[in-house]
Amino acid sequence: MKLTTWNVNSLNVRLPHVLEWLDANRPDALCLQETKLPDERFPLAALREAGYAAVYAGQKTYNGVAILTRLETVGEANQVVIGNPHFPDEQRRLIAATVADVRIVNGYFPNGQAPDSDKFVYKLAWLDALAHWLDEERARYPALALMGDFNITRDDADVHDPVAWRDQIHCTEAERSRLAALLQSGLVDIFRHFDPPPGSYSWWDYRQGAFRRNAGLRIDLILLTQTLAEQATACTIDRAARKREQPSDHAPVTVEIARAHGSARHDLSPRDPAP
């Protein structure tokens, strides 16, 4: 199966890109961040026309997440959870759902703005609460993918200019240690797992020709539990999406997993009785 995460920076603006991208790539699930749409404006009909169902949690202007699923293969997402039960939050940043037999947790992690800001305090609290909740989700759903816009660089390999970014937002020890704890708990950073070349990023500033100069960060991640990671065959960042007219500043990140849809259920189905 194929799973993708993409911060679209306004689904309203990017809907044509998303529809074309879905048509060209046909992932089983597409996790979106920064939809920036209240639920009543979510473009369900256009997506269904493209063969996708969606579950979503949005708000006006800021944040907003969604999980799109391919109707003809995995069908609709179920067991949907919006937000973190341990962290009451008006900001729509988290949605989880079961797709085929994989638990998908889609997050738009807080930006944090600056290490000395209130927003940074919120970011760290959000991260701690996520870790707490993930322990419970993983106990319940052993095959789990945590994916989204993490707004954290794992280390300096994810930073185009580590000197300029040293101790800046996305690159602080406080943020990185929390990401490291997720990896320490057994989740696998599946892009890094395939030993990508240096200079592999997922976000580039709109300003100063940052994409042209590949002045980027890798902050959009897919973390897989061990068994899923062992079945993964590839993880790619689609830079072509960033080259388009009026692009999102983030590129889609996709993992391919050698896993038959509904295989667990199939294995459990009763056999024909012996003659």
Partner DNA sequence: ATGGCATGACAATCATGA
Shortest distance, position 176 Cβ to DNA, whole Å: 14
49, exposed or middle or buried, with CB in 10 Å at 0-12, 13-18, 19+? exposed
Catalytic: 206? no
Shortest distance, position 54 Cβ to DNA, whole Å: 17
Of 127, 141, 144, nearest to 223 (Cα)?
144
Within the chain, strands assigned E span 2-7, 29-33, 52-57, 65-70, 78-82, 94-99, 102-108, 144-149, 188-189, 203-204, 216-217, 220-224, 232-237, 253-257
Of 28, 101, 149, 189, catalytic = 149
Residues in the chain: 275
Binding site for DNA (CB under 7 A): 7, 9-10, 12-14, 34, 36, 60-62, 110-111, 113, 119, 149, 151, 169-170, 203, 205-208, 217, 219, 246, 249
Shortest distance, position 86 Cβ to DNA, whole Å: 21
Q: At 45, which helix (H) or strand (E)? A: helix 44-49
Q: Hey, how many other C-beta atoms are within 10 angstroms of the C-beta on 258?
A: 10
Shortest distance, position 168 Cβ to DNA, whole Å: 9
Q: Residue 73 is encoded by which pair of tokens?
A: 């293969």
Query: 58 near 98, Cβ under 8 Å?
Result: no
Q: CA–CA distance from 245 to each of 13, 14, 105, 190, 207 (Å)?
A: 12, 11, 30, 29, 15
- Which of residues 10 and 231 has its CB atom nearest to DNA in the complex? 10
- Which of residues 59 and 73 has its CB atom nearest to DNA in the complex? 59
Catalytic: 149? yes
Of 28, 52, 101, 108, catalytic = 108
- Which of residues 28 and 158 has its CB atom nearest to DNA in the complex? 158
Shortest distance, position 62 Cβ to DNA, whole Å: 6
- Which of residues 146 and 159 has its CB atom nearest to DNA in the complex? 159
- Which of residues 10 and 73 has its CB atom nearest to DNA in the complex? 10
Q: Which residues have a catalytic role annotated?
A: 108, 149
